[in-house]
Structure formats: structure tokens, C-alpha cells
Amino acid sequence: MNTKVTNKIAIGIIYFISALVVLILAALLISILGQGLPHVSWHFLTSHSSSFESGGGISDQLFNSFYLLIVSMIISLPIALGSAIYLNEFADPKSEFISVFRSAIEVLSSLPSVVVGLFGFLLFVLKFHMGFSVLSGAIALTFFNLPLLTRSIENSLAAIPNLQREAGLALGLSKWETTEKVIFPAAVPSIVTGVVLAAGRVFGEAAALLFTSGQSAPQLNWYNWNPLNSNSPLNLMRPAETLAVHIWKVNSEGTMPDAVEVSAGSSAVLIVMVLIFNLSARFFGNMLYKKMTSGTGK
């Protein structure tokens, strides 16, 4: 077998594997969206859920998913940003502390979601007396956000050529000023992409939230925005069943007559939201790349 034939066979295998991955994804999307979208309506998206009657919606669960995501990002993004800047710009790669730091990030990223959920249940729900709440769930989600965000931001900073760092230092800027005014702005497009992708990953998390934010969603009063009231959407100490948890609960309990329809519709909405997160990451990343570099995008 000559070199040309070997090359064609290798390329054919690569194309086949790539096509197989695309087909599997397409089959999943067609199956989930085909079964779920017919049950999605404006009433379904804007009405409260029902435990024992048919015709309930997912408005509270959908809001809880976004609210938990936002609170979690507010907690995790500054920590991840500071950690990534320190690791890439200021840390000594030969330091034992940095080695331990990176090992901790690796271990944290490999923890099963159920373990994180049980840890959050024991520490935040029971020990700190937070109960099943938005805050408990957001802190649990932070454990998933931190490793992914830290890696993503660090890789974005590492992709900036060292010539830009040297140019900043040559102009008399300090290391921090070079990082703040030269390196960080150049890395913003990649950082935004990583943040949006991390948000999409966390949006569909369920296992950890079962033990922290709870499996109940009290009906919210959309006219009451006082965060101290129990039925206010902004209350951080209320239980908050998310969309992913709602799907699990409907399939495991199935107490409403239209449980199959509710589960299918909720799954379709969840898939659509994750797709929007992924597509918007590419869109905003390319848009910022063009704006800040006058390039043609990726």
C-alpha cells in the first residue's frame, strides 16, 4: 500500500468519524425537538406549573434557571478572572504553590455533579442553614463554573503574543498596566466566548441542584420585586426548581395527567436555550474580534 492510498484511507476515516458525530447530534436534536416543540406554546412558557392537573407551564422554572445562572456568574466570574490573570501573567510556573493550584483546578473540574450537590447540601443547606435556596444552588454551580472559566480565560490570555507584552513594557507600562490596557482588551473576544459557553453548560445542570436549590418552585408574584419577600422572584433564600430539575421531577413522579407532554416540551425548551447559548458565543466572539482587531472573524 503506497503513501497516497494510506493518506486517502486515513482522511476517509476522519471524515466518517466527523460525519458520525454530526449524525448522532442531528438525530438527538430531531428526536427531542420533534417530540417537544408541538407542545410548546406561549401559555406553556408563561404559566405556572401544575402538580396534579394538566395544562401547567414552566414560567417559574425557566426564570429560576436564568436567575441561578446569573447569580452563579456574579460569584464565579470575578474569582475565575483573577485566578486566570494571576496564573498566566504573574505566577511563577516552577512554583510548588502554582502546581498545587493547578492540581486543585483539575480535581475540581473532575468532580461528579452528584458529589458537588451532596457537598453543597451538607455544607450550605444544613451547616450554614441556607436551606434549599437560590443562593445554595448558585454557590454549588460556582464549583462547576470556576474550573471551566479559569481555564478558558487563561487560554485566552495565553493566546496573546508575547510581543504585545514586551511592547507595553517598552512603553514604560508596569506589568499590571500592560495586562489591564494591552493584554486583557485583546483577549476579550475569546473570554466572552468562554463565558457564554460556560453559561450554556451550567444552564442544563440538574444533579447538583437537586440537593441545593430544591425540587419545588413556589408560585412567584411577578408584581412583587422586593427581594425580602418569600414569593418575590428576586428572593435569594427561596427554593428554586430549575428547568432541568423539573424535567427530572416530571419523569420520576409523573403526578400530572400530561406528564409526557410537559416533559417533552420542557426538554425542547432546554435544548433550544443551550443551542442559543452556543450560537451566541460564536456570534459575540466574532463580533468583538472584528470590532477590536479589524479582522474578518473566525
Could you read off the pLDDT of 54-67 as tens digits, one per residue? 888 888 899 999 99
Write the pLDDT tens digit of every residue in 194-223: 888 888 888 888 888 989 998 887 788 888
CB of 75 closer than 8 Å to CB of 139: yes
CA distance 167 to 252: 60
CB of 238 closer than 8 Å to CB of 132: no
Q: How big is the CA angle at 110 (ends 107 and 111), to the nearest 5 degrees?
A: 90
The reported pLDDT for the residue numbered 9 is 92
Grid coordinates in use for 205? 445542570
Q: How big is the CA angle at 71 (ends 82 and 273), to the nearest 5 degrees?
A: 105
- Model's pTM, two decimal places? 0.86
Q: Give the distance from CA 118 to its chain's centroid.
A: 20
Give the DSSP H/E element, type plus range, for residue 201.
helix 184-203
| Architecture in CATH for domain 40-294 | Orthogonal Bundle (1.10)
Going by C-beta distance under 8 Å and a sequence separation of 6 or more, which residues neighbour residue 262? 39, 49, 56, 58, 250, 256
Per domain, the residue ranges of the chain are 40-294
Distances (CA, A) of 152 to 5, 212, 266: 39, 26, 30
The reported pLDDT for the residue numbered 236 is 92
User: For 190-261, where are the E strands, in sequence order?
Assistant: none
The reported pLDDT for the residue numbered 220 is 83
CB of 224 closer than 8 Å to CB of 232: yes
The reported pLDDT for the residue numbered 285 is 73
The reported pLDDT for the residue numbered 54 is 81
The one-character DSSP state at 38 is: G
The reported pLDDT for the residue numbered 1 is 64
pLDDT tens digit at each of 298 positions of the chain? 678 888 889 999 999 999 999 999 999 999 999 999 999 999 899 888 887 778 888 888 999 999 999 999 999 999 999 999 999 989 888 888 888 888 888 888 888 888 889 999 999 999 998 989 999 999 998 988 888 899 989 999 999 898 988 888 888 888 899 998 889 888 888 888 888 888 888 888 888 898 999 888 778 888 888 888 888 899 999 998 999 998 988 888 777 888 888 889 999 999 998 888 888 877 877 777 777 665 554 5
Going by C-beta distance under 8 Å and a sequence separation of 6 or more, which residues neighbour residue 167? 182
